[in-house]
Chains A and B, each alone.
Chain A
Amino acid sequence: MICLKDVHKSFGANQVLKGVTLDFQEKGKITAVLGPNGSGKTTLIKCILGLVLADSGKIEVEGQSIKGEWLYRQHIDYLPQIARFPENLSVRELIALIKDIRGGTAHDQELIERFDLTDYLDQRLVNLSGGTKQKVNLTLCFMYDSPLVILDEPTSGLDPVAMQRLRELIRQEKQNGKMILITTHIMSFVEEMADEIVFLLEGKIYFRGTIATLKDRYQETNVERAIAKILSEQSTASSNNGQLSKKEKESLKIS
């Protein structure tokens, strides 16, 4: 479904992706893309969405190269990290805008009820709280039945009830056979939801496997500790090789 072959991307002198090769084929699976700040996970996701144009390498979605294409995005539901919308539109108009662009059948009503948004439909987006905006964001993302779902920090700003509903929604979409990619910094969420972890470090895939494999390999009881161990190992190895500057070591914090 998604296939990346030797993808490179630089921003000026900063090489963000250094030959990433990844293949996501299995339906009904949740994959968490993790990595420290600046490891390239957002760039990787943006490359798949066509927001960032790769310097070299090949990216295919549903068997088709995405270079110069835009229609393939109808196979992808995307939840951006920051929920900011045109201030003077109402929630109803915003939903109508996305429906206008995408066409087809949307099950927005079900999501509006799930996230208790009925009372907010005619309110302007500028008057909504951060959490309510995130619920609108989630509605926009999940209202189409696309086979691929990409969620960038889906939990930000949600209250515990909405968080629970989001978990249920993600599980339901997984059962419906969708492939879900998530980036988040909340490790408990990863541990609870993800089937597989892709760990990026300095623009390369450092680890890919199930949570059990990760815990086994690093002999830790939870994901957070295992990730911390990867980072400290990497930090030690690099400083032994004299490759990592002090600044770079400081940046090796999990995000």
Chain B
Amino acid sequence: MLKILKYTLFDLLRSRWSYIYFGFYLVFASALLFLSGDVSKVVISLMNAILILCPLIATMFGVMYYYNAREFTELLLAQPIRRRDIFWGQYFGLAFSLSLSLLLGIGIPFLVYGLLASTEIWNFLTLIGNGVVLSFIFSGLAFLIALSNDNKIKGFGLAILAWLFFAVIYDGLFLLLLLWFREYPLESLSLGLSILNPIDLSRILVLLELDISALMGYTGAVFQRFFGTGWGMAIAVLALFFWVIVPTWGIRRIADRKDF
């Protein structure tokens, strides 16, 4: 797996899309930092961008990379190497390259601004950590969808739909549920529902770390009340980790049974 990962990373780190992605974060974070000057506010602004953008870009890149590499994957599949190692190598290579663009794109302006001397380092690390985990989760989901669908258009459509569902539709459904059942105690339901959405989980995690109760919303507040900040964060981290494991396991399962 490491061999495939290494060459996938070589390939992707030279792709112009990686530079565009890196450049976007670099310009965006620099502009926010030097225009606003308040690191805490910048972290919140970046959080909103990362929560939407990381999953979207990871989804798009995941599907595109899989379909683009399909013929080469056939050549790899004919080599003495286990199927799962090929797909895990490609998946982790992609997720690492996206994470690196994010880390450098946001990290460089923060370092230049004097992050190491400020007290915001943990907030910054939480933000980056969330971006990285979201990149892993959504590129994994995209790989899973692409592996299950040989039809490119269908694969793209389903992957975008998955992103749309977690980023937008899920919140709407959540709100509707809360409205419909407002006469019942909803804490357990809302806790369960937020664990089922990695974007919600990330948002809660960053807000718990920043301790901004006004921005936490219903689920954040329930999380904090039920678990306290420490436990709340631990459970959110565990749930996010679970969200990385699920697509990784799914990729292995489908790859071992699929006809190419």
Contact among A82, A87, A102 with B79 in the assembled complex (CB-CB below 8 Å): A102
Give the shortest distance, in Å, between A93 (CB) and chain B (any CB): 6
Q: Are A74 and B80 in contact (CB under 8 A)?
A: yes
**Chain B residue contacts of A97, Cβ below 8 A:** 3, 7
Among A46-54, A192-200, A223-231, the stretch in contact with B: A46-54
Report the Cα distance A74→B81, complex, angstroms. Answer: 9
Report the Cα distance A70→B85, complex, angstroms. Answer: 11
* Interface residue? B74 (CB, 8 A): yes
Interface residues of B in 11-33 (CB under 8 A from A): 11-12, 14-15
Report the Cα distance A11→B258, complex, angstroms. Answer: 11
Q: Are B10 and A73 in contact (CB under 8 A)?
A: no
Q: Are B10 and A89 in contact (CB under 8 A)?
A: yes
* Interface residue? B112 (CB, 8 A): no
* Interface residue? B77 (CB, 8 A): yes
Of all chain A residues, the one with the shortest Cβ separation from B69 is A86
Interface flags, A38-64, vs B, CB<8A=1, else 0: 000000001001111100000000000
Give the shortest distance, in Å, between A141 (CB) and chain B (any CB): 9
Of all chain A residues, the one with the shortest Cβ separation from B259 is A52
Q: Which of B12, B68, B72 has the most C-beta atoms of chain A within 10 angstroms of its own C-beta?
A: B72
**Chain A residue contacts of B77, Cβ below 8 A:** 49-51
Q: Are A73 and B75 in contact (CB under 8 A)?
A: no
* Interface residue? B76 (CB, 8 A): yes
Give the shortest distance, in Å, between A94 (CB) and chain B (any CB): 8
Q: Are A82 and B76 in contact (CB under 8 A)?
A: no
Of all chain A residues, the one with the shortest Cβ separation from B74 is A80
Interface flags, B43-82, vs A, CB<8A=1, else 0: 0000000000000000000000000110110111111111
Interface flags, A84-95, vs B, CB<8A=1, else 0: 111111000100
Q: Are A46 and B260 in contact (CB under 8 A)?
A: yes
Q: How large is the interface on A (under 10, 10 to 19, 20 to 34, 35 or more residues)?
A: 20 to 34
Q: Are A101 and B76 in contact (CB under 8 A)?
A: yes
A98 and B72 in contact (CB under 8 A), knowing A11-B259, A88-B11?
no
Contact among A51, A72, A87, A93 with B7 in the assembled complex (CB-CB below 8 Å): A93
Using a Cβ–Cβ cut-off of 8 Å, how many residues does chain B contribute to the interface with A?
A: 26
* Interface residue? A100 (CB, 8 A): yes
Of all chain A residues, the one with the shortest Cβ separation from B76 is A101
Report the Cα distance A89→B72, complex, angstroms. Answer: 12
**Chain B residue contacts of A50, Cβ below 8 A:** 77-78
Report the Cα distance A4→B12, complex, angstroms. Answer: 40
Report the Cα distance A17→B14, complex, angstroms. Answer: 42
Q: Are A51 and B79 in contact (CB under 8 A)?
A: no
* Interface residue? B83 (CB, 8 A): yes
Q: Which of B3, B4, B75, B83 has the most C-beta atoms of chain A within 10 angstroms of its own C-beta?
A: B75
Q: Are A71 and B80 in contact (CB under 8 A)?
A: yes
* Interface residue? A142 (CB, 8 A): no
Report the Cα distance A85→B74, complex, angstroms. Answer: 10
Q: Are A100 and B83 in contact (CB under 8 A)?
A: no
Q: Are B71 and A84 in contact (CB under 8 A)?
A: yes
Q: Are A80 and B71 in contact (CB under 8 A)?
A: yes
Give the shortest distance, in Å, between B20 (CB) and chain A (any CB): 14
Contact among A52, A70, A84, A86 with B82 in the assembled complex (CB-CB below 8 Å): A70
Report the Cα distance A98→B4, complex, angstroms. Answer: 10
Report the Cα distance A74→B259, complex, angstroms. Answer: 20
Report the Cα distance A82→B75, complex, angstroms. Answer: 9
Give the shortest distance, in Å, between B49 (CB) and chain A (any CB): 27
**Chain B residue contacts of A74, Cβ below 8 A:** 80
**Chain A residue contacts of B69, Cβ below 8 A:** 86
**Chain A residue contacts of B130, Cβ below 8 A:** none
Interface residues of B in 168-220 (CB under 8 A from A): none
Q: Are B259 and A53 in contact (CB under 8 A)?
A: yes
Contact among B7, B83, B260 with A86 in the assembled complex (CB-CB below 8 Å): B7
**Chain A residue contacts of B81, Cβ below 8 A:** 70, 73, 101
**Chain B residue contacts of A80, Cβ below 8 A:** 71, 74-75, 78
Measured CB to CB, the residues of A under 8 A from B are 11, 46, 49-53, 70-74, 76, 78, 80, 82-89, 93, 97-98, 100-102, 124, 140
